[in-house]
Amino acid sequence: MAFAFMQGWHQQVTLEGIVAQRDRFHHFLAENATVSVLAYMAIYAVAVALSVPCGLILTAAGGLLFGWLVGALAAVVAATTGATIVFLIARTAVGDSLSRRSGPWHAKLSDGFQKDALSYMLFLRLVPAFPFWLVNLAPALLGVPLRTFVTGTFLGIIPATLAFASAGAGLDSVILAAKNEHAACMALKGPDTCELKIHASSLVTMELILALALLGLVALIPVVLKRWRESHAAAK
């Protein structure tokens, strides 16, 4: 992970780069669809395993390159695979050591988290406020079972992945406008002062964030109901 950031690989994953590669290899992508999807999934899984913060761009790239459905399915499987690798490494390499040093608060937090692990996992995956890499590490340190982690991750990232893959699939008009603007700039100012700019921030809207946050709150409803029933039963 440190080597990847030192080399600046995380800065190389941009929408502009994805568009350039698509234009360069469009014949290969069309004629070798299966190989292209598998290569995309491998790159995505490695990026997640290295905790490189480029999930949004890679998900949009999947929709742009392969269409929203294939791109979304490939992204979900690849992201889950990469996240599981991080989870297993964290649990085996540092989990026991941190658990021994963390004191009683860790045991209490871990016990509460494990009682409703799937609901909490869905909440953490659905709400975009939590960094993906952090949600890969925290459950490992809190003793979440592997099956629960994989299930919560796979199901929890589906809504956002579908949304961003669909946005990526609809980027062609944005890309065309950006290319025309770049060509006009090149004609006026020359290649040294003009860059192709496609802003990933246009993929994230307030409506999308609110929708994902509401889905996350829905995932917590079973936890709230369980806590209410326990407190109600204790009061009797």
Which tokens hold the place of 102? 């963390």
Stronger pLDDT, 192 or 215, i.e. the higher one: 215
Domain count, the chain: 1
184 located within any domain: no
Each residue's pLDDT tens digit, 152-183? 999 999 998 988 888 888 777 677 777 777 67
Q: Which domain holds residue 107?
A: 2-167+206-235
Rounded to a whole number of angstroms, the distance between the first and last alpha carbons of the chain is: 53
Identify whether the C-beta of residue 141 lies closer than 8 Å to the C-beta of residue 90: yes
Q: In the prediction, which pLDDT does 226 show?
A: 66
Q: CA nearest 140: which of 179, 194, 189, 85?
A: 85
pLDDT at 163: 87
Yes or no: say if 59 and 40 are a contact pair by the CB < 8 Å rule. Answer: no
Share of the chain above pLDDT 90, in %: 23
Has residue 123 been placed in a domain?
A: yes
Residue 192 located in a structural domain: no
Is residue 194 in a domain?
no
- Residues 27-59 pLDDT 10s: 888 889 899 999 999 999 999 998 888 888 899
Does 173 map to a domain? no
Q: In this structure, is residue 95 part of a structural domain?
A: yes
Question: Residue 94: its pLDDT value, please?
Answer: 64
Helix axes 117-126, 206-219, angle to 10 degrees: 180
Is 119 inside any structural domain?
yes
Q: Is 163 inside a domain boundary?
A: yes
pTM recorded for the entire structure = 0.78
Closest C-alpha to 71, from 165, 204, 170: 165
Residues 51-91: tens digit of each pLDDT: 888 888 899 889 988 988 999 999 999 999 999 999 998 88
Task: Please report the DSSP string for 160-186 in residue order.
Answer: HHHHHHHHHHT-HHHHHHHHHHHHHHH
